[in-house]
Chain A
Amino acid sequence: MTLGADFTGQKFKSVGTRPLRPDGVDKVTGRARYGADFNMPGQLVGRVLRSPHAHAKIKKIDTSRAEKLKGVKAVITAADLPDLTGGGDMFDILDNCMARKKAFYDGHAVAAVAAIDAPTAKKALKLIKVDYEVLPHVTDVDEAVKPGAPLLHKHMFTGGVEPKPKKPSNIANRCQYGHGDTEAGFKEADVIIERSYRTEQTHQGYIEPHACVASVSPDGTAEMWVCTQGHFVYRQQCAELLGIDVSKLRVTSSEIGGGFGGKTHIWAEPLALALSRKANRPVKLVMSREEVFRASGPTSATSVDVKLGAKKDGTITAAEATLRYSNGPYAGMWAELGAMTSFACYDLTNVKTVGYEVLVNRPKVAAYRAPSAPMAAFAIESAMDELAQQIGMDPVKFRIKNAAKEGTKSSYGPVYGPIGIGPTLEASLKHPHMKAKLGKNQGRGMACGFWFNFGGQTCTDLNIGVDGTVALAVGTVDVGGSRASLSLVCAEELGIPYEQVKAVVADTSTLGHNDMTDGSRGTFSSSMATIFAARNAIKVLRERAAQMWDISVDDVVWEDGQAKAKGQKHGNLAPLSLKEIAAAAPNTGGPIAGHSEIVADGAGVSFATHICDVEVDPETGATRVVRYTVVQDAGKAVHPSYVEGQYQGGAAQGIGWALNEEYIYGKDGRLQNPGFLDYRIPVCSDLPMIDTQILEIPNPKHPYGVRGVGETSIVPPLAAIANAVSNAVGVRMTHIPMSPPRILAALEKKKAH
């Protein structure tokens, strides 16, 4: 379905079709190689020793017995890595990879070994003696800000506060966004809602654990095979942490078994390199599932206060949110992102959001698909729903009335261009899902979501072989089928069949820097770079045709995959196909290629509206999703099957987050559920088919109108489901996940009143 005027005036031949992906056969036959599927001759097994304490001073580490164990080739601690205690960004990254002075969470790495096999490595870890001085810990986002809470850092004074606080705290940063006068706005309101919400910590839950094989030579060159969303970033950071020249470290990205933001940070990779350097042999380091949960990067847990005011006619007069986001032991910008995204869907005169970044004794937080947005959206969209209910307005119409549009000044600053929030809401109103009948104990809810999407540095290489096939080398990792989309874009620009293009992800030695595949930038940026590379190649193709015809290049056009001589004087020249020009290339100037190095700008914000039906068992609180619809704006869907896949995948993650997923810590500060048994992600029988409706409001900053699509879909489900539960059994859930014990407790509380 296409809304919006004929944007490019162009009829697409390849873009918008659904061919098979080029890496598909390898993936269905087991041939594709992921992080742990690669081996180097002579490789050692790397294993990491991790703190069993949530907070402890590391007084001494004695590795002597481990070093003496037969079969152990290297043992490292923080002493084998640079001392960056002078400060700076890299200190936090390094300290998280291996603790130097303090262990800050259950699972924090304190030492590592490389040995000839797994049983030896396991034995070696047991022989490392660590002297801990256990300290009081705090793992809860609200407990951590109370006076008297154990402090993670003695010298942490909240940034963004004037005057600078005299006392240290666990609040790393305060930030504020908004405009107008909310105090005045609340005075104008007929109805005011004030609510507090909490969301527990979740993990991206990718099925493939982190894995790498690292090999460092005595001459300072090194190579690493690793599953990552950004091999260039990994290269840069690992090189810096090990004191290797960036150009001497070659990082190859394996196929990646899921990332969702969690593989945009380095975790154990520097350790594998350091072990390899010390042992002078390759080291393979694969995290166990338990390590992934304990020691990679989950999301923030949050605590959010919302205050909304509106007139009887549904106009919101003031909106405020105070958001507390937990990070692990190091400062980040998670609260800031929450404060920015909170009210992004709406056109508000008076809005204020304040974010607090709170440090706790839990693993370092990493990005997870539209990071920080789902939690803020849960709070805001739940409150919006209640407000609509109190005013007596349909929840969708209430949002349409207040929706942001082209020209709206967003709550986080910029003015919007053409955007999709209004259209997704209008489409939802008309969607058949809204008219479907509901059964006993069933309820329907809806919610909106937003994500910025990013551009970033992107390089692409396009090489035309002598047989006319096109090799497309991209630097952004393919997390979900972007090679197919990029091949479509390339085919579209060159005017050739999809099958004539082969896309590969290049390694760091063969392409210039590429930022990570995150921020939904994979297809957006790489497609832009591909288009420009193709247009550069077309310039060359025209020049070669001109040479072959001995005419001026100004008289050559490129159309339908062919060079055509325009004008009457060249009327008798038959068009030259790409294949023909390529075959002649050795005689016309050599291989034909097109390159593009860009900083892709203007990824275009993406909005979504979700509709959800749930059924709640009032005697047990068991909740299941019986119907789900995603309506989201893609700008232009290059490969619709993969756009649908992103919508469905994000929704499924949001559903798990809403209903069952959470990190459970004991009083001892240890993570109790570091596995897929008790960290409960949705299984196949938990979900219904997930309907999708792709809207196309073109992004004026992309040649085809493409917007980022991968992230927005995880933002609405938390509130959509909470609102559905409210309509099913009449209780407002303010604590995510809405697990059965929480829903049953809410129902019991309601009965008691």
Chain B
Amino acid sequence: MQYARPSSIKEASGLLAKARGKAFVLAGGTDLLVRMKGDFVEPDLIVDIKAIKGLNEIKKTAKGFSIGAAVPCAAMGENKALKKAWPGVVEAANLIGSDQIQGRCTAAGNLCNASPAADSVPALVAAGAKVVIAGPKKKRTVAIEKIPAGPGKTTLAKGEIVEAIQLDKRPARSGDAYLRFIPRSEMDIAVVSAGVNLTLDGKGVVKAARVALGAVAPTVLLLPKAAKAIVGSKLDEEALEKLAAACSAACRPIDDKRGTVDFRIKVAGVLARRAAKIAYKRAGGK
């Protein structure tokens, strides 16, 4: 196995594009090394992107935030401005594993590992995040929900690397939240999860919403129908019931060692309700 630590994204992309065997990007390593230990992958080449300038930074601009692909999730939680603007995105990223994992794992890695249960992805999808992709061809920017293609698979072409995750500037009266269900209090992979992002009008009525569910389908589900159920409401009981029902109906979960179909369907609705309420409060709703 070869290990490379390029200092530019061009170099990194080149190494990946030219690689003859199995090549993997290494950011935090908290998924890749686990897969190597379990003999699920046997890389021929590992490209460590942590020495690439700029990838380690969270940039705040007039247009919003840009989170470099090598930024550890712990650093996202330590960034006051990011946490204030996007509490749901940050709490989702900070739920991934223990403190030991948090110091290493990255949201970009979480996305590209493409587990259906990835914690940061539903919140980022609900937030309308975009992904900047560098590669052999021109740089492109894509809606984040377009990246996961199935369990362990992304839509990235050979040689392409996620360079940054972008979040737009927040309109006023906006809030987001992420909740996941795990059997213990920590350290588990999400059994089912929900990310809700809301913007309210001056009267506290939901004027825009995005709802995403995790761990209930091969990839994260973005549910416009579920979002519609709460737009125009102040999250009264009827609207929340419709939201929960829409979420439960849209789930396509499996039975596995972490949960049953019935459980996931039921709890998806419960979590969506709870996350919506938290997001509403964060947006200033009463």
Contacts and interface: CB of A to CB of B under 8 A. Distances in A.
B151 to A, nearest CB: 16
B262 A745 contact: yes
A290 B183 CA distance: 21
A231 interface: no
Given A672-B257, A677-B189, A682 B262 contact: no
Interface string A678-705: 1010110110000000000000000000
Given A619-B270, A740-B263, A683 B257 contact: no
Contacts of A619: 267, 270
Interface string B168-209: 000000000000010111111101000000000000000000
Nearest to A678: B257
Instruction: Name the residue in A622, A659, A672, A748 with the highest tally of chain B Cβ atoms < 10 Å from its Cβ.
Output: A622
B252 interface: no
B263 A685 contact: no
A680 B257 contact: no
Nearest to B38: A290
Interface of A: 290, 619-622, 624, 659-660, 664, 672-673, 677-678, 680, 682-683, 685-686, 739-741, 744-745, 748
Given A672-B257, A741-B259, A660 B183 contact: yes
B183 A622 contact: yes
Contacts of A664: 257
Given A620-B270, A678-B257, 12 more contacts: A619-B267, A677-B187, A677-B188, A678-B258, A680-B183, A680-B188, A683-B185, A683-B186, A686-B184, A745-B260, A745-B263, A748-B266
Interface of B: 38, 181, 183-189, 191, 257-260, 262-263, 266-267, 270
Contacts of A740: 181, 183, 191, 263
20 contacts: A619-B267, A620-B270, A660-B183, A673-B257, A677-B187, A677-B188, A677-B189, A678-B257, A678-B258, A680-B187, A680-B188, A683-B186, A683-B187, A685-B184, A685-B185, A686-B184, A741-B259, A741-B262, A744-B263, A748-B266
A739 B257 CA distance: 11
Contact of A622 (B181, B258, B266): B181
A682 B257 CA distance: 17
Given A619-B270, A620-B270, A741-B263, A686 B185 contact: yes
Given A660-B183, A683-B185, A620 B267 contact: yes
Contacts of A672: 257
Contacts of A680: 183-184, 187-188
A288 B191 CA distance: 26
Contacts of B270: 619-620
Contact of B184 (A673, A682, A745): A682
Contacts of B181: 620, 622, 740
A695 to B, nearest CB: 32
Contact of B186 (A290, A673, A685): A685
A248 B156 CA distance: 62
A664 B257 CA distance: 7
Contacts of B184: 660, 680, 682-683, 685-686
Majority DSSP secondary structure for residues of B touching A = loop
Nearest to A289: B37
Instruction: Name the residue in B189, B259, B266 with the highest tally of chain A Cβ atoms < 10 Å from its Cβ.
Output: B266
Majority DSSP secondary structure for residues of A touching B = loop
Nearest to B274: A619
A740 B270 CA distance: 14
A623 B259 CA distance: 15
Contacts of B191: 740
A685 B186 CA distance: 7
B163 to A, nearest CB: 30
A59 B189 CA distance: 40
Contact of B266 (A660, A677, A685, A744): A744
Instruction: Name the residue in B183, B185, B186, B187 with the highest tally of chain A Cβ atoms < 10 Å from its Cβ.
Output: B183
A683 B38 CA distance: 23
A225 B183 CA distance: 39
Contacts of B267: 619-620, 744
Nearest to A617: B270
Contacts of A678: 189, 257-258
Given A672-B257, A678-B257, A624 B266 contact: no
A685 B184 CA distance: 8
Contacts of B185: 624, 683, 685-686
A673 B256 CA distance: 10
A739 B183 contact: yes
Contacts of B186: 683, 685-686
A672 B38 CA distance: 13
Contacts of B258: 678
Instruction: Name the residue in A664, A673, A740, A741 with the highest tally of chain B Cβ atoms < 10 Å from its Cβ.
Output: A741
A748 B187 CA distance: 27
A724 B267 CA distance: 23
A545 B216 CA distance: 81
Contacts of A660: 183-184
A748 B270 CA distance: 14
Nearest to A672: B257
Nearest to A682: B184
A664 to B, nearest CB: 5
8 smallest CB-CB distances across A and B, nearest first, come from A741-B263, A685-B185, A664-B257, A619-B270, A672-B257, A741-B260, A686-B185, A685-B186
A341 to B, nearest CB: 29
A598 B105 CA distance: 56
Nearest to B182: A622
Nearest to B271: A620
A624 B262 CA distance: 22
A620 B260 CA distance: 12
A682 B181 CA distance: 16
A660 B191 CA distance: 14
A745 B259 CA distance: 12
Contacts of A622: 181, 183
A680 B266 CA distance: 22
A424 B270 CA distance: 42
Contacts of A744: 263, 266-267
Contacts of A677: 187-189
Contacts of B262: 741, 745
Nearest to A664: B257
B202 to A, nearest CB: 33
Contacts of B188: 677, 680
A624 B257 CA distance: 20
Nearest to A656: B184
A682 B191 CA distance: 17
B179 to A, nearest CB: 10
B103 to A, nearest CB: 18
A290 B40 CA distance: 14
Nearest to B258: A678
Nearest to B255: A741
A675 B212 CA distance: 29
Nearest to A624: B185
A592 B191 CA distance: 65
Contacts of B266: 744, 748
Nearest to B267: A620
Contacts of A620: 181, 267, 270
B73 to A, nearest CB: 18
B189 to A, nearest CB: 7
A683 B186 CA distance: 7
B114 to A, nearest CB: 18
A178 B114 CA distance: 58
A233 B186 CA distance: 39
A675 to B, nearest CB: 8
A205 to B, nearest CB: 14
A624 B267 CA distance: 17
A586 to B, nearest CB: 56
A672 B259 CA distance: 13
A622 B185 CA distance: 9
A680 B183 CA distance: 9
B186 to A, nearest CB: 5
A621 B182 CA distance: 11
